Amino acid sequence: MTAKGRVFANPTWKVASPVVSVLIPFLGDDPSVLLKLLDEEAGAVDGSVEIVVLDDGTRDPELTKRLTAVIKAMTLPARLITLPRNEGRSIGRNRLATAARGGSLLFLDSDMRPDYRRFLRDWADLVAREDPPVAFGGISLLQAPVEPRFAVHRAMATKSECVAYTVRARQPEKYVYTSNLLVRRDVFAAESFDPGFSGWGWEDVEWAMRVSGRFRVLHVDNPATHMGLDTVAALAGKYEQSAPNFARVVDRHPAIVSTYPSYRAARLLKRLPGIDQLRPLLRRAAETEWLPVPTRAFSLRLYRAALYAGAIA
């Protein structure tokens, strides 16, 4: 394996002339189920779609072996890139774009599941019909696990992420996530993801802020389920990682971010005496299982705002 990673392609890869490249990064997950679901649509897209999967440094030979077998058996042209070390969310997606051959790039997270069996065909049809610069298909929780430990995340995602395309279109740059995002190749060449972001969060929203100033961002109704709901503890950990990224976005796009409720809440909390003592109390309330889910979700949102208050100037 070289520093650039090991590459495996299935038999149909060499002869394909794809229009859309589906780009799936992962770290520690197993995207086999997603790959098999996508491959069920191979006949419907008639060679117009390819799959590129990036293992961003999981370093699990058994997982690599399983994925290689899955990709080898796929009808869709597919390629697996296995990196020797983690490069991060932005760099990994930029690398995927370089490896793709289609004129449009569909970024799809490994824990997503298409909600309808016309998912790839609808994306390919949209490209053939309109060739949009950027299009976001939407996120749902239709197939996500319904377990008490994920109730807070479900409540928060339902309110802030699982938004109808007609509502998303009113603030097109705000509701853009790499979980189900189509980008035309020339647009991505003009505006790639900022490698200065590290850890979790905000690199896709910041990218959309830059892109929306130059290109049309279309919102469509072609959702996929986010299967990876988190516990409160895991979600709080991600928010902790995201605070420096949030500050980076504020520094680069103050006019846009100033309209966001998360920013306004952070500014208010920053003026509050004792904010450092308040943060752990908010997290504890969010993790308290006997409290009502809406109360816990509100506490977790305040915890995130309190983290962001400490990160912004």
pLDDT range class, residue 13, cuts 50, 70, 90: very high
pLDDT at residue 17 above 90?
Answer: yes
Same-domain status, 259 and 187: no
pLDDT tens digits for range 270-299: 998 888 899 999 999 999 999 999 999 999
Assess if residue 83 is contained within a domain: yes
* End residue of a domain, out of 229, 247, 277: 229
Distance of alpha carbon 206 from alpha carbon 241, whole angstroms? 16
The DSSP bridge partners found for residue 108 are 180
Same-domain status, 67 and 86: yes
Quick count: other Cβ atoms within 10 Å of Cβ 268? 11
Same-domain status, 114 and 69: yes
Assess if residue 1 is contained within a domain: no
pLDDT in the model for residue 280: 95
With beta carbons less than 8 A apart as the criterion, state whether 87 and 57 touch.
yes
Lateral strand order in the sheet of 134-136: 6-9, 78-82, 49-55, 20-26, 104-108, 180-184, 134-136, 217-219
Same-domain status, 224 and 252: no
pLDDT tens digits for range 26-39: 988 899 999 999 99
pLDDT in the model for residue 150: 96
pLDDT in the model for residue 154: 97
> Domain range for residue 306?
236-311
Same-domain status, 101 and 247: no
Residue at 218: amino acid letter: L
Number of structural domains found in the chain:
2
